[in-house]
């Protein structure tokens, strides 16, 4: 080799080495995330930083094109990936490649009492989000079910903070295993839709900590969620989306949340507060479609030009901006800058199977006199299926959780494929207008003729299956508005009564995300609480009705007899829906079954209730010791036996109550649960380990969690009222 060629080679090698070593730190995947964030930040101009923290379209932010930081794309959640929405209006974009798997609503997931399914759910819906090129899925929602009229209860996980906490953690972990962020919403106290954008919530510190925050805390501390959405409403006079106490002190301080706080769409109200009180990203302000949009809308956001101006003038510190940008960059590095994340998949058979399993495990058998269910194939020649919910699409409507489902098997289709078309006779019975966010559209059919036809059918049917409930229509389980009454809409109560006059062999299947009154309950032998079950709705329902699947769902909320039996509603308008300005949470910590138990007001169907086609025998509840220190775990065990003739699963629930508390405490509170599958005749030992510190209450004076030295009773049961055994221990 001649000398010149050798020198040229050396020069080239040197150049390659320089090029390799000059890879910017932020693109070097061997560097830590924090180093990479610091490096990007040091390269950004003030304007580029501000551009990162507000919308550039309805569901995206701009990133930093000069440095190759990608746009960040978000989509609703939480039950599937919403159809594509237009660039800057709420209209559907009209794409043809955005049909998804509709998973069951989160009430159904909660009703499974099965955290493993929550992980599968999260992983699958995250895969769909990833395939659709979304970096953030705007869910799950964990606002506590406070009143049965809340239009969005179907999107949440019920009334119990422990149940919601156990279910939300794996959901988040599943979503985020795809390199897609989950977004925990709506932080906090968004427990009603009435006046949601203005209402000011007044609630005690204790109820806040014991009831309304635990699921958020678990999602942050255990689930390690990457994004949290601020709520629309106010709390103690301040908007939640820039709330110093909620966001700075609790979320980012106590819980050490290192992700992004995003507004709900249009929940920012002030530049200074947004800058200083914990908000990191502003979405949805003033881009409300044709009415308010202007070409510069995104630059006019509180966290856009107005913020830039105040930063330049020194009115607001640069450190406030840097902290937000760092958080957004951390989110990018976790999602759209992670080159190793998987590619996802959409509407696969695997996802349909997961959706079906969740639906099957979530359906709750409320009442089943004389073994009405299961209905074996061939038993009846003429099965009347009555009610609009047997055929109506329930994946549409309801607000931001609407979906364009690739398929949606209706209950009618599910039943036809099980019992054969010739044995199923359908009549609509009642009707309602098409799903529209606002306003309510009238039905086109004549209510009287529908009713007469249904009654005529019921008269000579062997059996009647009534499919009713709510339907995500405006004011019937829908975002932005609460229901206005506890009863079933569209004349369903009257229809059920009239059917009963001509045929007593009637079961009611309620599809809803909320409790409804059941004035006909004594005359109906069997009632099923079903949910918005999504793509596999009819398959799951059909299989439960026929007994191919043994129901194992448990109610994630209490169903009161009357609306006034609900804690919040018992105090009149100031407690719900509020006096126009404030809503006072007068029932305090006594939410749901805590209220029914403590006030001795029996629910029609209690929290945790759900029947099975088999029968479970509960053995004696034992503890490993009788006296525990406060840092110990209480180990409980019992033997559970399936005494029936078919396999099935039981969710064993453990509640705890304190004997002589120095403050008011609920009679009992859920502290553990386990879903146990047993073959006929099989027994299993079921054990639970409950840290004694979980027996604490939040002390408002010391602002600490306190476990008192006292006697505590553990209640083991099949629901919050069906208690099979108790055992007491002392905590010293
Ligand atoms: C809802 C959020 C949703 C957002 C974006 C808001 O109206 O409250 O839950 O994620 O819109 O669609």
Question: What mean pLDDT is predicted for residues 231-260?
Answer: 98
76: confidence class by pLDDT, cuts 50, 70, 90: very high
Q: Which of 245, 244, 240, 248 is CA-nearest to residue 267?
A: 240
Taking the model in full, what pTM does it have?
Answer: 0.96
**Ligand 1 closest atom vs CA 183:** 10
Please give the distance, rounded to the nearest whole angstrom, from the Cα atom of residue 390 to the centre of ligand 1: 28
Please give the distance, rounded to the nearest whole angstrom, from the Cα atom of residue 78 to the centre of ligand 1: 10
Chain mean pLDDT for the chain: 95
For the cut 80, the answer to whether the pLDDT of residue 29 exceeds it is yes
Q: Catalytic site residues?
A: 264
Give the residue whose CA is nearest to atom 4 of ligand 1. 265
Tell which wins on pLDDT, 288 or 30.
Answer: 30
Please give the distance, rounded to the nearest whole angstrom, from the Cα atom of residue 55 to the centre of ligand 1: 14
Please give the distance, rounded to the nearest whole angstrom, from the Cα atom of residue 264 to the centre of ligand 1: 6
18: confidence class by pLDDT, cuts 50, 70, 90: very low
**pLDDT > 70 in the chain, percent:** 96
Q: Please tell me the number of Cα atoms within 13 Å of 513 on its side-chain side.
A: 38
Phi then psi for residue 137, to 5 deg, are -100, 120
Give the residue whose CA is nearest to atom 11 of ligand 1. 265
Give the residue whose CA is nearest to atom 2 of ligand 1. 264
pLDDT at 293: 55
**Ligand 1 closest atom vs CA 138:** 10
Distance, in Å, from the CA atom of 417 to the CA atom of 540, rounded to the nearest integer, reads 12
Which range, of 250-254, 438-442, 703-707, averages the lowest pLDDT? Answer: 438-442
pLDDT at 16: 45
**Ligand 1 closest atom vs CA 90:** 12
Distance, in Å, from the CA atom of 610 to the CA atom of 435, rounded to the nearest integer, reads 30
In the sheet that holds 364-368, the strands lie side by side as 364-368, 526-530, 506-511, 463-469, 383-386, 424-427
User: Are 219 and 259 spatial neighbours (Cβ–Cβ below 8 Å)?
Assistant: no
**Ligand 1 closest atom vs CA 59:** 5
Q: Which residues of 40-51 are buried (b: 16+ CB within 10 A; e: fewer)?
A: beeebeeebbbb
Environment class of 363 (CB within 10 Å of its CB; exposed 0-12, middle 13-18, buried 19+)? buried
Question: What mean pLDDT is predicted for residues 681-685?
Answer: 98
User: Are 550 and 373 spatial neighbours (Cβ–Cβ below 8 Å)?
Assistant: no
294: confidence class by pLDDT, cuts 50, 70, 90: low
User: Are 558 and 603 spatial neighbours (Cβ–Cβ below 8 Å)?
Assistant: yes
Please give the distance, rounded to the nearest whole angstrom, from the Cα atom of residue 171 to the centre of ligand 1: 19
**Ligand 1 closest atom vs CA 400:** 12
Q: What is the pLDDT of residues 309-324, one digit of tens each?
A: 999 999 999 999 999 9
pLDDT at 435: 80
Q: Which of 60, 79, 138 to mutate to test the pocket of ligand 1 (most atoms within 8 A of CB)?
A: 138
Q: Please tell me the number of Cα atoms within 13 Å of 711 on its side-chain side.
A: 6
Q: Say what the alpha-carbon torsion angle 442, 446, 451, 454 is, to the nearest 10 degrees.
A: -100
**Which bin fits 688, alpha (ψ -120 to 50), beta or left (φ > 0)?**
beta
Distance, in Å, from the CA atom of 381 to the CA atom of 422, rounded to the nearest integer, reads 8
pLDDT at 297: 84
Query: What are the pocket residues of ligand 1 if the criterion is a CB atom closer than 6 Å to any ligand atom?
Result: 76, 138, 185, 264-265, 400
Which range, of 171-185, 443-457, 626-640, averages the lowest pLDDT? Answer: 443-457
Give the residue whose CA is nearest to atom 12 of ligand 1. 400
1: confidence class by pLDDT, cuts 50, 70, 90: very low
DSSP string, 659-718: SS-SS---S-EEEEEEEEEE-TT-EEEEEEEEEGGGG-EEETTTTEEEPPSEEEEEEEES
Structure tokens at 581: 């300005």
Q: Which residues contact 476 (CB under 8 A, 6 or more apart)?
A: 432, 470, 483, 489
Please give the distance, rounded to the nearest whole angstrom, from the Cα atom of residue 232 to the centre of ligand 1: 10
Question: What mean pLDDT is predicted for residues 225-240?
Answer: 98
Give the residue whose CA is nearest to atom 3 of ligand 1. 400
Distance, in Å, from the CA atom of 134 to the CA atom of 154, rounded to the nearest integer, reads 23
User: Are 226 and 33 spatial neighbours (Cβ–Cβ below 8 Å)?
Assistant: no
CA-to-CA separations, 217 to 69, 158, 207, 400, 466, in angstroms, rounded: 30, 16, 14, 24, 41
Please give the distance, rounded to the nearest whole angstrom, from the Cα atom of residue 247 to the centre of ligand 1: 19
Give the residue whose CA is nearest to atom 7 of ligand 1. 265
Q: Which residues contact 23 (CB under 8 A, 6 or more apart)?
A: none
pLDDT at 19: 47
Q: What is the pLDDT of residues 690-715, one digit of tens each?
A: 999 999 999 999 999 999 999 999 99
For the cut 70, the answer to whether the pLDDT of residue 296 exceeds it is no
22: confidence class by pLDDT, cuts 50, 70, 90: confident
Q: What is the pLDDT of residues 182-227, one digit of tens each?
A: 999 999 999 999 999 999 999 999 999 999 999 999 999 999 999 9
* Spacing of C-alpha 392 from chain mean position: 23
For the cut 70, the answer to whether the pLDDT of residue 640 exceeds it is yes
């Amino acid at each position: 080799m001649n000398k010149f060629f050798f020198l040229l080679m050396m020069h080239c090698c040197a150049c390659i080495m320089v090029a390799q070593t000059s890879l910017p730190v932020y693109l070097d995947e061997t560097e830590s995330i924090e180093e990479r964030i610091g490096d990007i930040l040091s390269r950004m101009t003030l304007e580029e930083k501000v551009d990162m923290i507000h919308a550039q379209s309805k569901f995206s932010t701009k990133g930093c094109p000069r440095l190759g930081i990608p746009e960040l794309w978000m989509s609703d959640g939480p039950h599937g990936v919403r159809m594509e929405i237009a660039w800057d209006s709420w209209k559907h974009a009209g794409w043809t490649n955005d049909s998804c798997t509709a998973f069951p609503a989160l009430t159904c997931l909660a009703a499974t009492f099965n955290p493993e399914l929550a992980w599968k759910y999260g992983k699958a819906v995250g895969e769909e989000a990833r395939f659709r090129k979304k970096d953030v899925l705007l869910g799950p929602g964990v606002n506590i079910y406070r009143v049965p009229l809340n239009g969005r209860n179907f999107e949440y996980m019920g009334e119990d903070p422990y149940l919601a906490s156990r279910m939300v953690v794996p959901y988040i972990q599943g979503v985020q295993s795809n390199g897609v962020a989950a977004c925990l919403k709506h932080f906090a106290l968004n427990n009603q839709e009435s006046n949601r954008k203005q209402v000011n919530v007044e609630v005690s510190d204790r109820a806040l900590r014991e009831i309304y925050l635990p699921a958020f805390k678990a999602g942050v501390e255990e689930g390690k969620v990457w994004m949290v959405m601020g709520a629309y409403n106010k709390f103690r006079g301040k908007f939640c989306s820039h709330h110093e106490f909620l966001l700075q002190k609790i979320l980012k301080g106590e819980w050490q949340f290192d992700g992004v706080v995003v507004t709900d769409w249009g929940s920012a109200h002030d530049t200074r507060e947004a800058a200083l009180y914990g908000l990191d990203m502003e979405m949805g302000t003033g881009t409300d479609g044709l009415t308010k949009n202007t070409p510069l809308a995104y630059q006019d956001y509180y966290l856009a030009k107005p913020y830039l101006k105040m930063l330049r003038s020194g009115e607001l510190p640069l450190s406030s901006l840097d902290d937000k940008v760092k958080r957004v960059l951390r989110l990018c590095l976790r999602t759209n800058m992670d080159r190793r994340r998987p590619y996802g998949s959409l509407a696969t058979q695997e996802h349909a199977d997961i959706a079906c399993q969740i639906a099957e495990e979530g359906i709750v058998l409320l009442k089943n006199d004389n073994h009405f269910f299961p209905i074996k194939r061939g038993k009846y020649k003429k099965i009347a299926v009555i009610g609009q919910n047997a055929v109506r699409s329930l994946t549409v409507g309801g607000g931001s959780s609407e979906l364009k489902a690739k398929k949606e098997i209706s209950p009618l289709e599910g039943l036809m494929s099980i019992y054969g078309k010739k044995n199923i006779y359908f009549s609509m019975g009642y009707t309602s207008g098409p799903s529209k966010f606002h306003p309510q559209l009238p039905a086109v059919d004549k209510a009287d003729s529908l009713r007469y036809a249904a009654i005529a059918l019921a008269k000579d049917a062997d059996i009647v299956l009534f499919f009713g409930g709510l339907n995500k229509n405006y004011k019937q389980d829908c975002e932005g508005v609460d229901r206005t009454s506890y009863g079933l809409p569209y004349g369903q109560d009257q229809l059920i009564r009239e059917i009963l006059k001509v045929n007593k062999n009637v079961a009611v299947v309620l599809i809803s995300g909320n409790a409804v009154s059941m004035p006909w309950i004594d005359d109906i032998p069997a009632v099923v609480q079903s949910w918005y079950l999504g793509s596999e709705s009819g398959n799951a329902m059909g299989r439960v009705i026929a007994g191919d699947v043994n129901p194992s769902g448990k109610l994630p909320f209490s169903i009161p007899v009357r609306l006034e039996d609900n804690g919040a509603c018992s105090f009149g308008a100031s407690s719900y829906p509020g006096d126009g300005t404030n809503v006072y949470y007068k029932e305090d910590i006594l939410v749901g079954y805590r209220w029914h138990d403590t006030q001795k007001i029996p629910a029609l169907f209690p929290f945790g209730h759900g029947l099975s086609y088999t029968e479970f025998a509960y053995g004696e509840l034992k503890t490993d010791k009788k006296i525990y220190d406060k840092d110990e775990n209480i180990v409980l065990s019992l033997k559970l036996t399936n005494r029936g003739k078919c396999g099935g699963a039981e969710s064993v629930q453990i509640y705890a109550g304190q004997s002589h508390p120095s403050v008011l405490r609920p009679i009992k509170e859920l502290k553990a649960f386990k879903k146990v599958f047993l073959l006929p005749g099989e027994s299993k030992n079921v054990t639970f380990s409950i840290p004694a510190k979980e027996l604490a209450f939040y002390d408002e004076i010391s602002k600490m969690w306190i476990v008192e030295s006292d006697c505590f009773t553990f209640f083991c049961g099949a629901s919050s009222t069906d208690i099979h055994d108790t055992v007491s221990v002392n905590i010293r």
